[in-house]
């Protein structure tokens, strides 16, 4: 897993939590790829779209019946900033989105860094 994450990180940019929050205020999307149980125990980023990493491709493919328009509408029109707990899954997800034609990066340090920067979390 560590090698997969390192490989994905080599292909995607990282953005600070503060920069991602600012960009979201301007219309970019924060995509949280953590599992539902993590959202309940660790909190949610207000306004973020939640799609677990394991089903991301089915939600990011505009031709799929399970596509999520809030995500697919960003393809070619905006940037997706991907968040997980610490950054590993976000790197994999951002790389997947990149391959699918999205402009995506990972939020460096994940939710841990988001909270450490004093950014809002619900729940």
Residue 122 lies in a domain: no
Residue 95 lies in a domain: yes
Residue 18 lies in a domain: yes
Model pLDDT, residue 5: 87
- CATH number of the domain encompassing residue 27: 3.40.250.10
Model pLDDT, residue 116: 98
Tokens linked to 3: 């090698």
Instruction: Please name the residue ranges forming H helices in the chain.
Output: 2-9, 17-25, 36-42, 56-60, 69-72, 88-99, 110-116
Residue 37 lies in a domain: yes
Are the C-beta atoms of residues 72 and 20 closer than 8 Å to each other?
no
- Give the predicted TM-score (pTM) of the model: 0.96
Model pLDDT, residue 2: 87
The helix/strand count (H/E) of the chain reads as 7, 5
Model pLDDT, residue 60: 98
The total of structural domains in the chain comes to: 1
Q: What is the span of the domain harbouring residue 85?
A: 1-117
Residue 123 lies in a domain: no
- One digit per residue, pLDDT tens: the chain, 123 residues? 889 989 999 999 999 999 999 999 999 999 999 999 999 999 999 999 999 999 999 999 999 999 999 999 999 999 999 999 999 999 999 999 999 999 999 999 999 999 999 999 998
Model pLDDT, residue 57: 97
């Amino acid at each position: 897993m560590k090698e997969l994450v390192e490989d994905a990180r080599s292909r995607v940019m990282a953005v600070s939590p503060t920069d991602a929050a600012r960009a979201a205020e301007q219309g970019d999307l924060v995509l949280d790829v953590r599992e539902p149980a993590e959202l309940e125990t660790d909190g949610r980023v207000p306004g973020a779209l939640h799609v677990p990493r394991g089903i991301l491709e089915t939600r990011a493919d505009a031709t799929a019946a399970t596509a999520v328009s809030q995500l697919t509408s960003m393809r070619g029109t905006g940037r997706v900033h991907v968040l997980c707990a610490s950054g590993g899954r976000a790197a994999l997800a951002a790389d997947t989105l990149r391959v699918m034609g999205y402009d995506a990066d990972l939020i460096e340090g994940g939710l841990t860094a988001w909270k450490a920067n004093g950014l809002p979390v619900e729940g």
